[in-house]
Amino acid sequence: MNVHHLELFYYVAKHHGISAAARHIPYGIQQPAISAQVINLEDSLGVTLFHRRPFSLTQAGRELFAFIEPFFGKLSDIDARLRGGRVVRLRIGAPEPIQHNYLPAMLQTLKKRVPELSFSLTSGLQDVFEQQLLAQEIDIAFTGIHGKPAPGIQCQEMIRIPLALVVRERSGFKKAQQLWEMDRIDEPLLCVPVPEPVTTIFLTELQRRKIEWYPSLELASLDLVGRYVAEGFGIGLTIMQPDVPAPAGTRLIPLTDFPEVPYAALWLGKINPLLETVLREARSIAGKVSSLSPA
């Protein structure tokens, strides 16, 4: 058996699928390469290790995973142990805007306070993070929330961020009211997928106001929403981050009379000293961001 193939199978089995495995493997590898190498492993063993759709391990897959998991599950700790140090692991879930704009500063401060800290990052949304917390695949998540978290998951709100529309710089729209007063809004609406609280909160408020405007194009991130708006594909929905400028070639129209998007920390069960340190630093960053918001 090829050890590298075993490692790839470990990630596929642990994260319940090839696409999820690709997001967690700590080095760059594409889904087709993972699939091909796992097939090679199955061919060499002469068995099927898992069913693809829906994902489930076969009996042979469960036996193999149980055998290799104790080894691969502890690889991330071994470097520090061999060097005579201790490992403090922190697995964080956060959507890409938070990873890009806020986590670097927070993690830099945490590394100064806890030099032996080792961390990993996972992208997703509230429902994904809740599943990962319940499965103990992550330790804490920072995310926009909409609705009450699942039983057992603790929640601490950090900040509320206003919604905004993003339009091209030369757009004739100056205020959102210009759109609301139209008999029919013909401008395409660009947004992140509907499960994302940014979009859910916005559409819920439109429905309350009896305004019909539905997403024309759902994009994977707020960065992509801004990019596509700049290229002239429509009007985008985003958030008004006070320390993040509008994408090049665009400007923001604040939705000051719309509900704000709450962002919170989620974790499972009783808090430990490391998570308390993380929360303290997160609250500090949230306070700094809030202080930059216009009064």
pLDDT greater than 60 at residue 249: yes
pLDDT greater than 70 at residue 283: yes
**Residue 250, strand partner residues:** 168
Residue 184 CA to residue 128 CA, distance in Å, equals 35
CATH number, domain 163-259: 3.40.190.10
pLDDT greater than 90 at residue 106: yes
What is the third-level CATH fold of 76-159+263-292?
D-Maltodextrin-Binding Protein; domain 2 (3.40.190)
CATH number, domain 3-73: 1.10.10.10
pLDDT greater than 70 at residue 198: yes
* Residue 264: both structure tokens together: 């919170």
Nearest by Cα to 231 from 166, 164, 163: 166
pLDDT tens string 42-83: 999 999 999 988 899 999 999 999 999 988 887 766 655 665
**Residue 194, strand partner residues:** none
Least-confidence region, from 11-20, 207-216, 247-256: 11-20
pLDDT tens string 1-46: 789 999 999 999 998 999 888 888 877 788 899 999 999 999 999 9
| Entry field: residues in the chain | 295
Read off φ and ψ for residue 154, nearest 5 degrees: -85, 145
pLDDT greater than 80 at residue 209: yes
**What per-residue confidence (pLDDT) applies to 109?**
92
Tell me the CA distances in angstroms from 272 to 158, 173, 268, one per residue in order. 18, 49, 10
pLDDT tens string 148-196: 899 999 999 999 999 999 999 999 999 999 999 999 999 999 999 988 8
**Residue 217, strand partner residues:** 190
Is 123 in contact with 96 (CB distance < 8 Å)? yes
- The domain locations on the chain are 3-73, 76-159+263-292, 163-259
pLDDT greater than 80 at residue 243: no
**What per-residue confidence (pLDDT) applies to 163?**
97
| Matching fold, domains 3-73 and 76-159+263-292 | no
Average pLDDT score over the chain: 90
**What per-residue confidence (pLDDT) applies to 35?**
93
Phi-psi region of 250 (alpha: psi -120 to 50; beta: other; left: phi over 0): beta
Confidence of residue 290 (pLDDT cuts 50, 70, 90): confident
